[in-house]
Structure 1
Amino acid sequence: MVWDVTIIHNIVLPTLFLLFVGYVMRRKSDASPFNKMYKKTPPEADGAQPIFGHLNLLGSGDIPLCRKLGALADKHGSIFTLRLGIYQRIVVVNSWEGVKDCFTTNDKVTAARPDFTVGKYLGYNNAVFSLHTYSPYWRKMRKFAVTELLSSQKLEKLKHLRVSEVHTSLRELYMLVTSSPTGKTKTVDMNDWLRQLTLNLILTVVAGKRFKFKISEDDECTEFKKALHIIEVFKEFMYLIGQSVYGDAFPFWIVRFVELKRPVVKRMGRIMKELDSILQSWLNEHVKHRRQRSTTVEFGNSNNQDFIDVMLSLIDDDFSRGLIYPHETIIKATALSMIIDGSDTTAVHLTWLMSLVVNHANVMERLRDEIDSKVGKDRWVEDADIKDFHYLHAVVKETLRLYPPLPTYTPHVAVEDCKVGGYDIPKGTHLYVNAWKVHRDPRIWSEPDKFRPERFLVDAAGPETPPPWKNFEYIPFGSGRRSCIGNTYAMQVTYLIIARFIQGFNLETPSNERLDMSEGLGITLPRATPLDVVITPRLPPSFYFDST
């Protein structure tokens, strides 16, 4: 972008002047006797810059945000303050006591969301209800999703789709492995395979879609290329949704105008245009099919009934009357929310679980022994078997402890003055909960950085067996009215994929060396490197081609 004299005089200089004035006013406000006498606010972390505050900390570097915030907690205490620009304060909560205050006493007070740029450009102007603030729209859509899409009864009706997709993906993996020159083993990037599998699983449920992925080295079909494109679009979406935008830190229209010219905001607009085109085409297909059907089939009684079908049946002009979005936008935004929440977080969790298991051969052996002893090699693991796999449950829970799906929760906003951890939290403060740090609290977890599934076994002694999703020491899916509504689906998918994969394949690293466990950047804390492992089938070929 070329900056001419007109732009500098009319935009840049006034913006800098307003920022300077706002900075001076803020500093005077912070130093006022009233604030010092009557407010006990959390300590502010060091490293803030004039005007910009801690923007450099939040938006730069190659260290994951959860680790940055955890290091600051070690230095300043479990609850501390960051400054975002001139006015906006962020309180970071790193302890279970602070989390309890946020999501019990102050649950309603802290249920709001900030109006960030990502919600506007990547969330249909915040129609994606996980990004929407606490409002009648949010309450109505959350209730709809819980009762009409993700209830236990609805998920049970979709069980056959889940089982079929897992089996199909395992068969494709078997074909990929056996197509290698050796015919027995092959090195596979499990990161890619798990992303493909989890995306297909949620697309089947949401839109009735499934994409064929590569099963041989020369497989370059049109469908495969289309699938790769969709995966890349969703991957870029997840990257962009975690980006910092300066316009969110400075409440001036001039700053927001200049921000529109930045490449990151342009990328948001471009990727959302592609996503909307995909979602609109799926919606149009469903509308066309509904018109062709002479009778309406009850949800769950037909393989063609997916989430978009349900939403078309229930979300109409009457449903959206009084809401701020038209019904078509609500359907696309809800479908997008389900796809994003149901694919990327699950794939990242499964990738870390696989990584940990490969690096701990004793855990792999114990998992396989448990599955073989309870199910054997004469049939595939079924959903009904999962309850008997106590060690598998412990491995999954321990992975969620070390790598929660969202290490740092989507920001909350306090809509009233409140207290968290004994500190005064003024109205308008943003609240960041660092679940990653809470899960590694040495007061609760001995050797908190070590992978020890045994700590979650029912017969283990001591305080390290908190009932999952009940105590605030263990919050992989959040807590309170903003907690994750898809945890039941995520766990059903996780247990079935891991159990059948361990049952059907052996895996090891190419050189029998430990995997690199470096963490990448992103809101879901993905691996920094591919998960390359050598795959070997361990069951008769007929198992992979059965229709089970």
Structure 2
Amino acid sequence: MRVKIFAKSIVVLNSREACIEALIKTGTDFQGRPPLKRNNIVLPPNVVFSNFSDRQVLSRRLFTKALKAYGPGVMHLENILQETIQSLVDDIDRRSGCAIDSAELSIGYVCCVIASMMFGEKYSYDDELCHQMNQVNSQVIKATDPFSSGAVLDAMPFLYDFKFLFRDQHKKVDSAKEAITKFIKTRIEEAKKSFDANQMRGCLDYLIEQQMLEVKADGQPSLDDLMLEGLMVNFLIAGLETSRRSLAQIFLDLLHDPTLQKTLQAEIDSQFEPTETITLKDKVKLPRMEAYMLEQMRFLTQVPFMIPHMAVRDAEVAGYKIPAGTVVLMNSYHVAHNPDVFDEPFEVKPDRLIDESGKLVDRDHPLRENFLGFGAGRRQCPGESFAKSRIFLFLANILQKYDVKVDGELPERDVRKYPMSILLTPPSVKVQFTRRQ
């Protein structure tokens, strides 16, 4: 369908077929991004929000290479992830019998993991760096929220020059820009001073090395400092926001469905001794765990319209002509909750992804194909594998060691009622962890 907002045409694609046609089959026709005034002010050019260009393609390539170089398969990072999990367990044990806020726990864990991935060191939950990451992230999200009054500035950017209008929004934007610029530049400067090519630490070291190695004909680095800052934004903002929401959804699911919790624990107990540590290579042993992870991601579909796309030239989808410059939204929320595909789409039912032999259904199964939560094509999320890895480690190790129970009132689990910004946000809940015998 086509709608107009402030005289701007927006086309919404509501079927999987139309989304795949736009994202993959039309090449680069819909790989642009609409200009978003507040994002462009707060954030340096980055992989997620930048318009399609040679510079954006280079940034994405380096971002992907960095993830592969220091991704799930590298022993150094996996050791850090396992140590982070152990720190999480130790923290829960210290607070035995006390209610723990699920949002606080999720954010703490994800901040530690992302900081370790970026900088190659182990961080604890009370580390000042992790607190800074969380604070900076919160400021950026509030300053760029597309469902706030500041969205008018994105739709009519000329209003931004009238500083007496939307004063509160101007303060949020200025404060967020200052906070994220200071945080990222400080970390890059520190990493460059201590950089040692013979002792690589995290993804930032890898990108610094690429900056030294990849030089253009004029002698300037292909990866300049502004691009480097943009890549760090992608690690920080995109990685933190999506993972913490998935973990918040997981707690709601376990508390609303005790049978699910027992089923996943039974699968873990059938494969591991209580004292064993579950690692990433053990994922294949837990098909029901993976089925649940995929199902909760489908149910939540936390980016319901994906990041907005834009037609970079006159194009066509499903027989309809779409002029260059048109904003195109992919309704991944409807694709993931289409009742013609999913029986009871607003229920969390992991068994729908398990075949008759007890294995996870193949990637080309319709129930898996109708999840576009990480996008598709050239602008598919490059951090999908790492996001699933850190969620798996959290869920498997927590359920191996604890029974999870609600403390107080249990919030409703209905994705149709979750607060909306660019992402859907599950409510937090007070949780008690009891060591399993």
Q: Same fold (TM over 0.5)?
A: yes
2:250–2:296 Cα contact (<8 Å) kept: yes
Looking at structure 2, the residues matched to 210 and 92 of structure 1 have their Cα atoms a distance apart, in angstroms, of 43
Residue 84 of structure 1 is matched in structure 2 by 5
Alignment match, 2:116? 204
Structure 1, unpaired ranges of 5+: 1-79, 178-184, 215-222, 300-304, 540-548
Residue 113 (structure 1) aligned with residue 33 (structure 2): yes
Is the CA contact 1:114–1:133 (under 8 Å) kept in the aligned structure 2? yes
Displacement, 1:326?
7.5
Q: Secondary structure at the match of 1:530?
A: coil
Contact 1:245 1:259 in 2 (8 A): no
What residue is the counterpart of 1:297 in the other structure? 198
| Alpha-carbon spacing, 1:279–1:259, altered in 2? closer, same or farther (3 Å) | same
SS at match of 1:533: strand
SS of 1:150 mapped into structure 2:
helix
The equivalent position to 1:155 in structure 2, one of 69, 72, 85, is 72
* Aligned residue number for residue 98 of structure 2: 186
Matched, 1:510 2:430: no
Question: By how many angstroms is 1:524 displaced?
Answer: 2.3
Local SS of the residue matching 2:431: strand
Say whether residues 1:245 and 2:151 are aligned partners.
yes
1:374-413 counterparts in 2 under 5 A? 374-413=271-310
Q: In 2, distance between residues paired with 1:199 and 1:320?
A: 35
Distance 1:112 1:267, change over 3 A: same
Aligned pairs (5 A) from 1:461-540: 467=364, 472-511=369-408, 514-517=410-413, 518-527=417-426, 529-538=427-436
Contact 2:70 2:202 in 1 (8 A): no
Structure 2 contact 145–151 (Cα < 8 Å) conserved: no
Residues 464-473 or 408-417, more deviating: 464-473
Tell me what 1:33 maps to. Answer: none
Contact 1:454 1:460 in 2 (8 A): no
Q: What is the CA distance between 1:152 and its match in structure 2?
A: 6.8
Identify which of 78, 87, 95 aligns with 2:15: 95
Gaps of 5+ in 2: none
Task: Give the SS at the match of 1:89.
Answer: strand
Partner in structure 2 of residue 345 of structure 1: 242
CA deviation after TM superposition for structure 1 residue 266, in Å: 2.8
TM-superposed deviation, 1:138: 0.8
Q: Distance in 1 between matches of 2:224 and 2:366?
A: 34
Q: Distance in 1 between matches of 2:291 and 2:276?
A: 24
CA contact (8 A) 2:211 2:222 kept: no
Q: CA deviation at 1:229?
A: 4.5
Distance 1:139-1:264 versus aligned 2 partners, 3 A rule: same
Query: Equivalents in 1 of 2:309, 2:164: separation in Å?
Result: 25
Give the letter for the 2:114 counterpart.
I
Q: What SS is found at the alignment partner of 1:427?
A: coil
> Secondary structure of 2:161's match?
helix
Alignment partners' CA distance in 1, 2:194 and 2:22 = 46
TM-score by length of 2: 0.89
Number of aligned pairs?
Answer: 425
Distance in 1 between the 2:366 and 2:193 partners? Answer: 42
Deviation at 1:259, TM superposition (A): 6.0
Whichever of the two has the greater Rg, that structure is: 1
User: Of the candidates 258, 261, 271, which is equivalent to residue 176 of structure 2?
Assistant: 271
CA drift of 1:210 comes to 5.3
Greater relative contact order (CA < 8 Å, ≥ 6 in sequence): 2
With over 3 angstroms needed to count, the CA separation of the structure-2 counterparts of 1:509 and 1:156, relative to structure 1, is same
Q: Report the CA distance between 1:228 and its aligned residue.
A: 3.5
Q: Distance in 2 between matches of 1:378 and 1:140?
A: 45
Percent identity, please: 17
> 2:165, 2:119 → 1: CA distance?
34
Note the alpha carbon deviations across 1:14-50, whole angstroms, 9 max, x for none: xxxxxxxxxxxxxxxxxxxxxxxxxxxxxxxxxxxxx
Return the letter of the residue paired with 2:61: K
Whole-angstrom distance in 2 between the partners of 1:394 and 1:164:
26
> 1:371 maps to what in 2?
268
CA distance in 2, matches of 1:326, 1:402: 38
Q: CA deviation at 1:208?
A: 3.8
Please give the per-residue CA displacement for 1:285-318, whole angstroms capped at 9, x wherever unaligned. 112213xx5xx2154xxxxx11121122111496
Find the aligned partners of 1:324 and 1:416 in 2 and give their Cα distance: 30
CA contact under 8 A between 1:188 and 1:534: conserved in structure 2?
yes
1:74 alignment counterpart: none
CA, structure 1 residues 161+211, in 2 after alignment: closer, same or farther (shift >3 Å)? Answer: closer
Q: CA deviation at 1:194?
A: 0.7
Q: CA RMSD in A?
A: 2.7
CA distance in 2, matches of 1:106, 1:260: 44
Per-residue deviation, residues 61-119 of structure 1 (Å, max 9, x unmatched): xxxxxxxxxxxxxxxxxxx1221212x21111221122122112224100011121133
Quote how far apart the aligned CAs of 1:172 are.
1.6
- Does structure 2 retain, via aligned residues, the 8 Å contact 1:370–1:389? yes
**Aligned: 1:144 with 2:49:** no
Q: Which residue in 2 is equivalent to 1:169? A: 88
Please tell me whether the aligned partners of residues 457 and 465 of structure 1 are also in contact (alpha carbons under 8 angstroms): no
Number of the residue aligned with 1:67 = none
For 1:370 and 1:101, the matched residues in 2 are separated by 39
Q: What amino acid does structure 1 have at the position aligned with 2:425?
A: P
SS, match of residue 315 in structure 1:
helix
Q: Deviation digits for residues 141-164 of structure 1, max 9, x if unmatched? A: 1111112x1127743222222222
